[in-house]
Amino acid sequence: MHVLRFALRSLAKSPGFTVAALVTLALCLGANLTIFAVVDAVLLRPLPFPDARRLVAVVNSYPAAGYPHGGASVPNYFDRRHAIPAFASVSLMAQGNVIVGDPGSPQRVPIASVTPEFFATLRVPLALGRSFTEAELTYATGQVAVLTDEFWRVHFHGDSGVLGQTFLNDGVPATVIGVLPPGFRFPASQAQFFRPLAHDPGARGPQNRHSNGGEMIARLAPHATLAEAQAQIDALNLRQAADDPMRGLLAGWGYHTFVRSLQEDHVAALKPTLWLLQAGALFLLLIGLVNLANLLLIRASGRTKELAVRQALGASARHIARDVLIETMLLALAGGGLGLLLGAFGVDLCAALGARQLPAGTTISLDARVAACGLLATLAMGGLLSLPVIWFNLHAKLGPSLQIESRGGTASRAAQRVRHGFVVVQVALAFVLLSGAGLLGLSLKRALETPTGFTPERVLTGMISLPWKRYPDKTAGLAFAERLVAAVRALPGVTHAAINNSMPFTGRVSGAPFSIEGHAAQSGDPVRAEHRSGVTSDYWSAMAIPLRRGRLLEEADNQLAPTVCVVDQALADRYWPGVDPLGHRLAFNGTFTEKDAATVVGVVGQVKQNEVGEAGSFGMVYFPYAKFQTNFFYLVVRTALPPAAIAPSVQKAILQLDPELPIDDLRPLQTRIDDSLLGRRSPALLAGIFAGVALLLASIGLYGVMAYAVAQRTREFGIRLALGAQPAALLQMVFCQGARLAALGLAAGLAIALAAGSSLSSLLFDVSARDPFLLAAVATLLGAVATLAGFIPARRATKVDPMIALRAE
């Protein structure tokens, strides 16, 4: 307690140093805890299922066709569930949504259709009832459902007698046969309840082997490995190739099936971004530690006389080391506590910035696990920060310090080299962070400047899914679509209304194998899949997509035979370079056939489909809606009013046509574009914050070292001036010392940034990871800040009064 009180008094005597140290520790530790909370929640925590490491995803991949993550099909499930010894169980899940609720206030909820082994594969026991049976995989049996705890409590008020009760989904009664335990959530799903993956018996045939509408989840058998499962899947695919109806296309598509950890599969898209942000936070922490180490060394240099007196009075090396360790630990713990508070705020900020990009069910929080890691990091920082101070105290020449006001006891050359080395490291790390933040910011700027191909302002979009019970065929669905477009178009303020079943920036863009009349694919050439969409005639006006050649589709094209289509400029340039595409025919099939043929009557501008930064986008083929009609589509409304103002009128118009049909995800098109940029905007913002703090710490570090050096040499400068030295010469001497340190740091930082540039490539759009202009701009900025930090102490050296310095001597 005596040593602790002494440490508190020592810190209280230096309030400037103490506040600077606490702020530095709080900022650096808070930033790391913030990012680590996200990394822990997404990447490190195992999935919430027993023995989750044994769960794997089995995914069909067609990279050459543009579908590296194709999913799995119903035939895959029946082919693989008994043919792969490495799998203890195999299940298939397909996600969708249904309408529940009363007429006039319908609600669409997400659901999942699964095979009977799904819950057993996850090892999730039901809280009530049973799971599905093999017999319930056909449409012949009535619908049954297993409810989540949340759905059970909301819609059935937690009734323990819920088993056997029914509820309507898409107008069809479903019988409740089970309830899941509280907190159950599959990582890639927000399903409110589960139904059997019912299908026609014909869907199990090999002709549907690549109709990948589901996600396959398997559990590895005891002692089985991923490599064994992969080898067995490869062998099965090789055997099945002999009777596969699409075997002529599979080689061109690069078809294969990969097996990997289920958790790894779900976080694959986020993993590079999160690890790079964590690396940036660690760089910031290193800069902070180096800065603090320098401040502590400077402070220790100012206490050499006190230390010399203590040694003269009998203080041993152990006592000196103990006092330093306790003081730095006390400082670190106080800074760590503030860092925890900043981390809690940062976690909320991170959740707000990127919540929609996280896997479903992920909860980011600064819980006991993250706080414990923060405590361990705090103790480690305290120990590390004490080492250079202990080394200095035990190796400094302290005897001359007892001579009052003598120059003895100043830092040795070794201590000076350590401090200078710390400054170089700070500048180098700051350069790396600044260059990374600059690249991400420039990439975001380029993405924002990239045209989408349409005008999103004043466009409202919403999703509609027609239940098959009330719209069982194309005729009924098409009749509703026509009434809907007419009703919305008549609303005040609406200028255009249209339907599209493959809407940009919704993640629901469909594609299929594609062929051109008279263009035979060469052996070994990849067979591309292109996007396709069914639209009503007002679609291009609603989206403000320009017509490049020919004409747009008209209402009369719905009845026209043979089928006509409109293609975008990207597809026209790819398949008819230098040739007028009008009059040419295409087919969405691997091999061109007359029955699938469509004649090109127009060319429109290319539209970004998923993200403004997408490169090598597929082409798009637009069909008359009647020729490519689906029960799932998007309503597109261009309005003279703000989109939010017209939304209630659109909802009312739909309920007047069908009181049991909701419109979902109704929001302005611009918000969809903004959401697509979230994966670029959030890392750029966080990296910019880290880089700004790093720049501040590096400049403070250089300023502190140079200011201390000037203070230590005050008498020397006074004597030089008294003997005739020019102030300009002193300014140059001191300034050049700081400039050399900054230059060394910039050179080291440039080398690190060039070496690490490739790790950022996957996050950049239209920007080189080694962009010379940006690196030069970062060097200029950091050099200017370092120059200012070194100039202020250098200028102070020229203001030394020679008489005061000589009087002290």
Sign of CA dihedral 471, 495, 664, 681: positive
Residues 6+ apart with CB under 8 A from 392: 297, 300, 301, 411, 415, 418
- What's residue 411's pLDDT? 52
CB atoms within 10 A of CB 468: 14
pLDDT digits (tens, 9 = 90+) for 695-714: 888 777 777 777 766 766 66
**∠ CA 372-375-379 to the nearest 5 degrees?**
145
Residue 112 pLDDT exceeds 90: yes
Read off the pLDDT band of 361 (50, 70, 90). low
* Calpha distance 700→693 (Å, rounded): 11
Which pLDDT does position 370 carry in this prediction? 87
- Mean pLDDT over 673-694 rounds to 82
3-state secondary structure of 20: helix
Query: Which burial class, exposed, middle or buried, applies to 24 when counting CB atoms under 10 A from its CB (0-12, 13-18, 19+)?
Result: buried
- pLDDT greater than 60 at residue 527: no
Tell me the C-alpha distance between 708 and 207, whole Å.
79
> What percent of the chain stands above pLDDT 90?
28
Grouping H, G, I as helix, E, B as strand and the rest as coil, residue 61 is strand
DSSP state of 523: T
What are the CA-CA distances from residue 715 to residues 300, 719, 800, 809 (Å)? 20, 6, 8, 8
- pLDDT band of residue 108 (cuts 50, 70, 90) is confident
Given a contact cutoff of 8 angstroms between Cβ atoms, the answer to whether 162 and 130 are in contact is no
Tokens of 87: 């799998």
Per residue in 27-66, pLDDT (tens digit) is 889 888 888 888 888 888 888 899 999 999 999 998 877 7
572-591: pLDDT as tens digits: 988 888 889 999 988 887 67
Mean pLDDT of 539-555: 93
- Could you tell me the CA-to-CA distances from 44 to 38, 40, 267, 649, 717 in Å, in that order? 9, 5, 10, 46, 57
pLDDT in tens, 250-289: 777 788 999 999 989 888 878 888 888 888 888 888 888 8
* Sequence spans of domains, the chain: 1-54+266-411, 55-265, 459-641
**Cβ contacts of residue 716 below 8 Å, gap of 6+?**
407
How high is the pLDDT of residue 315? 66
Sign of CA dihedral 214, 220, 226, 227: negative
Residue 409 — very low, low, confident or very high, per pLDDT cuts 50/70/90? Answer: very low
Query: What is residue 324's DSSP assignment?
Result: H
H or E element, residue 675: helix 669-676
For the chain, what is the radius of gyration of the CA atoms? 34
Cβ proximity of 669 and 460 under 8 Å: yes
Residue type, position 482, single letter: E
Tell me the pairing of strands 55-62 and 215-220: antiparallel
pLDDT at 405 over 50: no
DSSP per position, 553-612: --GGGGT-SSEEEEEEHHHHHHHSTTS--TT-EEESSSS--GGGEEEEEEEE-----S-T
Query: What is residue 39's predicted lDDT score, i.e. its pLDDT?
Result: 86
DSSP string, 641-657: S-HHHHHHHHHHHHHHH
The highest-confidence range among 509-513, 689-693, 798-802, by mean pLDDT, is: 689-693
Q: How far apart are the C-alpha atoms of 390 and 324, rounded to whole Å?
A: 7
> Per-residue pLDDT averaged across 394-409, rounded?
53
Residue-level pLDDT at 693? 84
Is the pLDDT score of 222 beyond 60?
yes
